[in-house]
């Protein structure tokens, strides 16, 4: 981001020891701090990554959760663009998955059941009548281990957790590593790695709630989704099995305000909560999935991913009862989510891209959130 870099250079234009100190100060850093303890006494830590341009991302070990993302607006002023809480209690008391790493299987599994290699497995139906985001105590409610790691592109922290065989009903020991890197190109890159000793479904993602204006409605944000098709769902949010071409209401191929056609969506509480099938030349290849612009601040978020799908959600269940950072009551349409993923209920839909991971295989996924201004 040229204007940020230029500002830093001007600030340090003087010569001598002070100029050298300023230059070193802007090389980026990783800072670890205590963030409280869980009810059973486990310590939770917060890692704040700062890049050379001053952008900041904070991730806590509880749920490998992105709690803050500070990026500049068109005037160079930093602002936090993700919803969340100021302290650990806000996350422990229950919340709508603000910024968490979700899984083992993100999104929904029909009826909380699946059959794999001839054996039926039963999971919690925590989104009645379906299973959602890993169950009652998914990986978003676990304390992960973490350590700063070397990266050629910026500042990075790797979070690790092993989900034991049978946890939340899933088979196999699933070893997971999620690495957050805040690059000097103003990108928040998330790399996922998982291995198992038994065949098991895996679908990991980050569940950040974004608001590029920092506060208020997201209906005027302009969205482009690189998807010609989507998977329609039944009344409980489970894909019907169809893969349909986007119609006028569902299409964001042409950049369109999020609120332009949202009122035409039927059902309560209304709004987008759909999986889009990304246009990809090659499965598993990093490509552009979405771009969001906020005219009021000039902030732009571009998302690239190796995943085949992306869940677009418009904060349909935010109703003001959730009090977040600085006492902000999170209201209807105060945020959007763009969760890169395999399609919902893929374990029960054989024609969807498979989510099954087997021993001696590696699950990998990369998603990049790139921040610019216009």
Please give the positions annotated as active site: 207, 339
DSSP state of 114: E
User: Hey, which residues does 113 pair with through a beta bridge?
Assistant: 122
Q: From the DSSP assignment, how many helices (H) and strands (E) are in the chain?
A: 3, 29
What is the Cα–Cα distance from 356 to 206, expressed in whole angstroms?
19
Separation CA 154–CA 146 (nearest Å): 17
Tokens of 146: 């973490």
Contact 173, 146 (CB under 8 A): no
Contacts of 321 (CB under 8 A, 6+ apart): 329
Q: Pairing relation of β-strands 78-80 and 65-72?
A: antiparallel
* 350 CA to centre of own chain: 26
């Amino acid at each position: 981001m040229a204007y940020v870099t230029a500002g830093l250079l001007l600030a340090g234009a003087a010569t001598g020891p002070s100029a050298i100190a300023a230059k070193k100060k802007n090389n980026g850093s990783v800072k670890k701090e205590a963030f409280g303890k869980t009810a059973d006494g486990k310590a939770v830590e917060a890692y704040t990554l700062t890049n050379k341009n001053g952008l900041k991302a904070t991730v806590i070990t509880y749920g490998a959760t992105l709690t803050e993302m500070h990026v500049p607006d068109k005037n160079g002023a930093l602002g936090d663009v993700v919803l969340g809480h100021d302290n650990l209690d806000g996350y422990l008391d229950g919340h709508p998955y603000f910024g968490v790493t979700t899984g083992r299987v993100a999104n929904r599994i029909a009826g909380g059941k699946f059959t794999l290699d001839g054996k039926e497995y039963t999971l919690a139906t925590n989104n009645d009548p379906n299973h959602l985001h890993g169950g009652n105590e998914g990986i978003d409610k676990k304390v992960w281990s973490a350590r700063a790691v070397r990266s050629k592109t910026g500042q990075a922290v790797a979070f690790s957790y092993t989900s034991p065989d049978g946890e939340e009903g899933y088979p196999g020991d699933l070893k997971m590593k999620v690495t957050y890197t805040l690059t000097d190109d103003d990108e928040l890159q998330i790399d996922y790695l998982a291995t198992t000793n038994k065949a098991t479904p895996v679908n990991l993602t980050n569940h950040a709630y974004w608001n590029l204006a920092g506060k208020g409605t997201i209906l005027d944000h302009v969205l482009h989704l690189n998807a010609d098709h989507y998977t329609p769902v039944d009344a409980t949010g489970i894909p019907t099995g169809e893969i349909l071409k986007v119609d006028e209401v569902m299409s964001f191929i042409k950049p369109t305000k999020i609120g332009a056609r949202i009122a035409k969506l039927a059902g309560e509480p209304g709004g987008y909560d759909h999986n889009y099938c990304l246009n990809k030349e090659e499965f598993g290849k990093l490509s552009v999935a979405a771009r969001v612009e906020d005219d009021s601040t000039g902030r732009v978020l571009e998302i690239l991913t190796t995943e085949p799908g992306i869940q677009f959600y418009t904060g349909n269940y935010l109703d003001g009862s959730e009090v977040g950072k600085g006492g902000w009551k999170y209201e209807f349409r105060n945020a959007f989510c763009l969760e890169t993923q395999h399609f919902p209920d893929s374990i029960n839909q054989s024609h969807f891209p498979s989510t099954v991971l087997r021993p001696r295989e590696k699950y990998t996924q990369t998603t990049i959130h790139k921040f610019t201004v216009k």
